[in-house]
Chain A
């Protein structure tokens, strides 16, 4: 193996196809988006260079504030439900004393493999203000809190984010579960022998040792929240009005409804920048000496 790693031609031969493919489908569109963001362009012709006008316009656009706020709320809901709840469930499933763990593990992952469209349609029915399960349940237990879940500006973004959180919690759960299983059991056992409770041991040993896993999960959840789109498109078409717009929805509207591709490219670049910034911040927060065991 070392023999091959020493051969630069072999490295190049193996890496080149993947690099070329990556450059073609990822790097080139990103660079093109950046380039086109400096143009007034309708997606067909050559466009007219307009410098930073698109960016200046973006920061004056009232949709930006709505989109950033919704992206933030979406990300927060994902973090709380997917990582918070996912961690608890992963710890439960990692406990060999819990019966039916395999059923639980499979059950948590089933929504992940379902089609997003199917899940959204299911939740549209659940959220129906007249006949939906949620309002019916409230009615059944005598709680007068009935909502128009998908049309109320105050709660619709949370309701939509919850659908994403519910569907992909199993994905985060599997990452967290793998993270827990990679920690040697002796650490927790030793702590329990020394008098620590099981949850205390998890709090002081398991969770701190999962920092790398949490870092990855946080990046996935937060960048996923900032760039959320599909659920809004299917469940509310971004409405009512622009209530449920996110940055990706802005891109969709400006590119495909208003044919302002140059401006949409500027929003895309901004989205990439925000996602990179979030990734850098998370990396900094979790910057520590890598633990090996």
Chain B
């Protein structure tokens, strides 16, 4: 009897344990949590209106029903929060029946979004980069927008040359972009250059090597680079490469590395041997590298044009940027408007499983326009996807103004994408290796040739 009672007790306890483990809630709890985390960011608009079109050419949905859309977007610093808040405030005016519930995206290389896709829990609207776009297109987790209502108008409103940020290489549209084609430049500290007797801008490699020696003699790191992130070493390489090969990595179609790549690798290696980089460069993050530059420990910094605002804030009139040096002055002049940047599709995309797909598409296009509008009008940043017909509110920093007046009207080319993941990964690895002593341009050539032979069969 005791034995039986014990068995019953033990079985009941086990069953309770299992049941309690299973009852912790799934999707509903998550949704409640998502909603709870974003009350400040929700553009709540309980009163429906009859809005049908807006001044940006995007037609508003005909429905008057309140619509709630979950959006997965970056929202973690001023660069991401301010445009989002601006766009949401504008949305409230244009589509008051739409409520956005923000699910702030993680800086996790798209993992959370992929988990949503794998578990069938996709947000209505999400920010997608090209890598995610390709994977989601293959698994039908992203809406094809080729024939969507706002697409034709959006395409016609693109700034000249910005087609690559909206149209994929196979000719489709999966997202509405807000950023234009961004590129990398070399920032330099004018005061340090003057103190070391280095003339700016540096135009040739010989001048660059000479400058390195002058900075080193003064105990200054010639160039700060946050090469713990592989992409920046890759961009540095591309900066050298595009002097000779404006197409960039799109030229990697054969089984062997073209001459321009070998030359760029050799120049990279020579600059390293001359002492351009800090010995700890591949272990330096952005905060460390920018701090070196802004505290006067480094003479130059390589980063995208978006660094202009931060550089202006930290160094004021002591900072400027320069084009990439080339093998000689003639090449420098001929190639300085070959920009070290390649646009790739990215922006706001829509889930095909959204219950309010049509509205979500309209909202995605609207948000992209408003993000661009914020950057243009509030920051004076002209590098946005679409034309903005509103006046600039903020005066852009002098460096940005120089970019606007001198560079953007004269851009000759942007580099083009290479779609092969293995080739891009190999470039990331081997350009980072080039920064390290002991790894030569010959090693770079050998490794890349092996990958090219394997991938471009």
Which residues of chain A have a CB within 8 Å of any CB of chain B?
3-4, 7, 9-10, 13-14, 16-17, 20-21, 42-45, 62, 124, 128-130, 148, 150-154, 235-237, 239-243, 253, 256-259
Known contacts A45-B140, A240-B432, A240-B436, then 19 further A-B pairs from the complex at CB < 8 Å, ordered by chain A residue? A7-B7, A10-B7, A13-B14, A42-B135, A42-B138, A43-B114, A43-B118, A44-B138, A45-B139, A128-B280, A151-B280, A153-B436, A153-B439, A240-B435, A241-B430, A241-B433, A241-B439, A259-B114, A259-B131
**In this assembly, does B351 line the interface, its C-beta being within 8 Å of a C-beta of chain A?**
no
Q: Are B430's CB and A151's CB within 8 A?
A: no
Q: Report 8 cross-chain contacts, Cβ distance below 8 Å, ordered by A residue.
A: A7-B6, A42-B139, A43-B118, A44-B141, A148-B280, A148-B437, A239-B228, A241-B432
Q: State the Cβ distance, B70 to closest chain A Cβ, in Å.
A: 19
The chain A residue sitting closest to B13, CB to CB, is A13
Q: Are A237's CB and B228's CB within 8 A?
A: yes
Q: Are B433's CB and A14's CB within 8 A?
A: no
A10 to B422, CA, bound (A): 56
- B433 CB contacts on chain A under 8 angstroms: 239-241, 243
As a 0/1 sequence over residues 386 to 424 of chain B, the CB contacts with chain A under 8 angstroms (1 = contact) are 000000000000000000000000000000000001100
- B7 CB contacts on chain A under 8 angstroms: 7, 9-10, 13
Given contacts A17-B18, A153-B438, whether A44 and B114 have CB atoms under 8 Å apart is yes
**In this assembly, does B279 line the interface, its C-beta being within 8 Å of a C-beta of chain A?**
yes
Q: Which 6 A-B pairs have the closest CB atoms?
A: A13-B10, A241-B433, A45-B139, A44-B139, A241-B429, A240-B282
Q: Are B439's CB and A240's CB within 8 A?
A: yes
**In this assembly, does B315 line the interface, its C-beta being within 8 Å of a C-beta of chain A?**
no
Q: State the Cβ distance, A145 to closest chain B Cβ, in Å.
A: 15
Chain B residues 32-49 with CB under 8 Å of chain A are none
Q: Are A45's CB and B138's CB within 8 A?
A: yes
The chain A residue sitting closest to B450, CB to CB, is A62
- B280 CB contacts on chain A under 8 angstroms: 128-130, 148, 150-151
Which of B135, B279, B433 neighbours the largest number of chain A CB atoms within 10 Å of its CB?
B279
As a 0/1 sequence over residues 1 to 15 of chain B, the CB contacts with chain A under 8 angstroms (1 = contact) are 001001100110110
- B109 CB contacts on chain A under 8 angstroms: 256-257
Q: Are B279's CB and A258's CB within 8 A?
A: no
- A239 CB contacts on chain B under 8 angstroms: 228, 230, 282, 429, 432-433
Given contacts A13-B7, A43-B114, whether A236 and B282 have CB atoms under 8 Å apart is yes
A109 to B432, CA, bound (A): 37
A189 to B228, CA, bound (A): 56
Interface size counted on chain B using CB atoms at 8 A = 44
A129 to B282, CA, bound (A): 12
- B229 CB contacts on chain A under 8 angstroms: 237
- B421 CB contacts on chain A under 8 angstroms: 258
A128 to B279, CA, bound (A): 9
Q: Are A44's CB and B18's CB within 8 A?
A: no
A15 to B34, CA, bound (A): 37
Q: State the Cβ distance, A259 to closest chain B Cβ, in Å.
A: 5
A251 to B140, CA, bound (A): 25
The chain A residue sitting closest to B454, CB to CB, is A60
Q: Are B438's CB and A242's CB within 8 A?
A: no
Q: Are A44's CB and B117's CB within 8 A?
A: yes
A42 to B134, CA, bound (A): 11
- A243 CB contacts on chain B under 8 angstroms: 433
Chain B residues 212-243 with CB under 8 Å of chain A are 228-230
A154 to B280, CA, bound (A): 15
- A153 CB contacts on chain B under 8 angstroms: 436, 438-439
**In this assembly, does B331 line the interface, its C-beta being within 8 Å of a C-beta of chain A?**
no
Q: Are A16's CB and B14's CB within 8 A?
A: yes
- B136 CB contacts on chain A under 8 angstroms: 44
**In this assembly, does B356 line the interface, its C-beta being within 8 Å of a C-beta of chain A?**
no
Q: State the Cβ distance, A174 to closest chain B Cβ, in Å.
A: 31
A259 to B3, CA, bound (A): 54
- B117 CB contacts on chain A under 8 angstroms: 44
As a 0/1 sequence over residues 428 to 451 of chain B, the CB contacts with chain A under 8 angstroms (1 = contact) are 011011011111000000000010
**In this assembly, does B283 line the interface, its C-beta being within 8 Å of a C-beta of chain A?**
yes
- A20 CB contacts on chain B under 8 angstroms: 18
- A45 CB contacts on chain B under 8 angstroms: 138-140
Given contacts A43-B114, A237-B228, whether A17 and B282 have CB atoms under 8 Å apart is no
- B291 CB contacts on chain A under 8 angstroms: none
- B14 CB contacts on chain A under 8 angstroms: 13-14, 16-17
Q: Are B429's CB and A242's CB within 8 A?
A: yes
Q: State the Cβ distance, A250 to closest chain B Cβ, in Å.
A: 12
- B111 CB contacts on chain A under 8 angstroms: 256
Q: State the Cβ distance, A251 to closest chain B Cβ, in Å.
A: 14
- A148 CB contacts on chain B under 8 angstroms: 279-280, 436-437
**In this assembly, does B63 line the interface, its C-beta being within 8 Å of a C-beta of chain A?**
no
Q: State the Cβ distance, A25 to closest chain B Cβ, in Å.
A: 11
As a 0/1 sequence over residues 99 to 143 of chain B, the CB contacts with chain A under 8 angstroms (1 = contact) are 000000000010100100110000000000001000110111100
- A21 CB contacts on chain B under 8 angstroms: 21
Q: State the Cβ distance, B336 to closest chain A Cβ, in Å.
A: 30
The chain B residue sitting closest to A16, CB to CB, is B14
Which of A62, A150, A240, A257 neighbours the largest number of chain B CB atoms within 10 Å of its CB?
A240
Q: Are A44's CB and B283's CB within 8 A?
A: no
**In this assembly, does B29 line the interface, its C-beta being within 8 Å of a C-beta of chain A?**
no
The chain B residue sitting closest to A44, CB to CB, is B139
**In this assembly, does B156 line the interface, its C-beta being within 8 Å of a C-beta of chain A?**
no
Q: State the Cβ distance, A67 to closest chain B Cβ, in Å.
A: 14
Q: State the Cβ distance, A82 to closest chain B Cβ, in Å.
A: 25
Q: State the Cβ distance, B11 to closest chain A Cβ, in Å.
A: 5
- B439 CB contacts on chain A under 8 angstroms: 153, 240-241
Which of B11, B17, B135, B283 neighbours the largest number of chain A CB atoms within 10 Å of its CB?
B283
Q: Are A129's CB and B11's CB within 8 A?
A: no
Q: State the Cβ distance, A280 to closest chain B Cβ, in Å.
A: 34
A150 to B279, CA, bound (A): 10
A36 to B3, CA, bound (A): 45
A42 to B140, CA, bound (A): 12
A259 to B11, CA, bound (A): 44
As a 0/1 sequence over residues 139 to 151 of chain B, the CB contacts with chain A under 8 angstroms (1 = contact) are 1110000000000
**In this assembly, does B425 line the interface, its C-beta being within 8 Å of a C-beta of chain A?**
yes
Q: Are A151's CB and B10's CB within 8 A?
A: no
As a 0/1 sequence over residues 268 to 281 of chain B, the CB contacts with chain A under 8 angstroms (1 = contact) are 00000000001111
